[in-house]
A = this chain, B = another copy of it.
Amino acid sequence: MDLVKELEQRFHRDIVLTQHMGLAVETYNENGLTLSAPLEKNLNHKQTAFGGSLNCLVTLAGWGMVYVLLREMDIDAHIIIQESKISYLKPVTEDFQAICPKPDDAMLHKFKKMLQKKRLGRIPLHCVIYEEDTLAVEFRGSYVATVTT
């Protein structure tokens, strides 16, 4: 099973709310990890996307990025989010995608070293939601992975 399908199944199985949100894992490639959700299931009182849903999607884009990185490194670990910061820059009026670009090599190297030496790695990630060409949501989260085997 490919990683994209595996990650989507994990989200849907482990976090029931992601089913209600209509979350899908779209792609994982050199541009990073992309998740999506339909506007219709995530509406607020102004018929735009609910801030809580936008935050969920970027939070999970970051979580998912750590998940695929660990799979590529062949390391079993628990992943949690420690803290995050989000700016809602403009209302989202369409189905939306959260993108988490892959961290650069130096960051990946540092993360892997920490996991190997201390069995615990911390990694800061930056996720975004665009509407057409405009940045609508900017998110920075700090994730911690704890090796389990």
Residues of A within 8 A of B (CB): 10, 14-17, 20-21, 41-46, 50-53, 55-56, 59-60, 78, 80-88, 91
Contact A14 B44 (CB under 8 A): yes
Q: How far is the CA of A41 from the CA of B16 in the complex (A)?
A: 7
Closest residue to A50 on the B side, CB-wise? B15
**Copies assembled:** 2
Supply 9 further A-B pairs (C-beta < 8 A) apart from A83-B86, A83-B87.
A15-B52, A17-B52, A20-B20, A46-B78, A52-B60, A55-B55, A55-B56, A55-B84, A80-B88
Cβ-defined contact, B43 with A51, below 8 A: no
A80 to B83, CA, bound (A): 22
| A10, A17, A87 pick with most chain B CB within 10 angstroms | A17
Report the separation of the CA atoms of residues A78 and B91 in the bound assembly, to the nearest whole angstrom.
Answer: 13
